A = this chain, B = another copy of it.
Amino acid sequence: MTAMSDAAVLESGDALAPADLTQQIRDAILGGEFAPHQRLIEADISERYAASRAAVRTALLNLANEGLVERLPNRGARVRAISIDEAVEIVEVRIGLETLCARKAAENVTDADAVELGRLRDEISAAVASGNLMEYSRLNQEMDRRIRDLSRHATATQLLERLRAQSARHQFRLAYHPGRAAQSAPEHIAIIDALLARDPDAAEAATRSHLEGIVGVLRGMD
């Protein structure tokens, strides 16, 4: 029989394993609970989540790998802040990776995939027409994930997922940029159409064009 720990704050009962803890902290960062540049002191987090310091340490190591936090030697971890310049760099890299994926994806579209893509296309149109930005943003992510899956390119997929996590905050801001949806929606439709046509060149061109548009908008943001 284990003694009940009354030090637990949010989680009652059992201590968190590092894997779960990593997810919790990740969500907290992505959700804005931990602000950029905020120091993540192991003891504090340990107490907050009722986990051992070793577990916190492991979790922070994981998140550092993903690029969500940065670790300064002997000076601890803090939430990594992605500057506009870095966000631009990330999108520039995404151009190289996503065009590759788009091209591969276009070669791998099965008839079943085509049906799914067609439905996604309609849902995107509907979301934009009804001005539902939240849904539109979700569908964009869904589409990007679908393309990564179709590409069957593990290396590019892995790198893209890392980059997406890092720039999640900017991605979010972008979605609510005035007039952004109106411009990007046709671009997304164009990418899907290229995939449906099994046309790698068109898929690459549409993807590149879309991402270059994002670079332009990012550069325009303060």
A residues bordering B, Cβ < 8 Å? 61, 65, 86, 89-90, 92-93, 95-97, 99-100, 153-156, 159, 163
Contact = CB atoms under 8 A, between A and B. Distances in A.
B100 A159 contact: no
Contact of A95 (B61, B65, B96, B163): B96
A89 B159 contact: no
Contacts of A96: 93, 95-97, 99-100, 156
A154 B92 contact: no
Nearest to A19: B73
A95 B100 contact: yes
8 contacts: A65-B65, A89-B153, A92-B153, A92-B155, A93-B156, A93-B159, A96-B99, A96-B156
Given A96-B95, A96-B97, A100-B92, A86 B159 contact: no
Oligomeric state, in copies: 2
A163 to B, nearest CB: 8
Contacts of A89: 153-156
A61 to B, nearest CB: 6
Nearest to A54: B54
A93 B100 contact: yes
Nearest to A104: B92
A128 B56 CA distance: 52
Contacts of A65: 65
Nearest to A166: B155
Which residue, of A65, A96, A99, has the highest number of chain B Cβ atoms within 10 A?
Answer: A96
Q: Sort A-B residue pairs by CB-CB distance and give the 5 closest, nearest first.
A: A96-B96, A89-B155, A65-B65, A93-B155, A93-B156
Contacts of A159: 93, 159
A100 to B, nearest CB: 5
A147 B7 CA distance: 48
Which residue, of A61, A92, A99, A156, has the highest number of chain B Cβ atoms within 10 A?
Answer: A92
A97 B90 CA distance: 11
A120 to B, nearest CB: 25
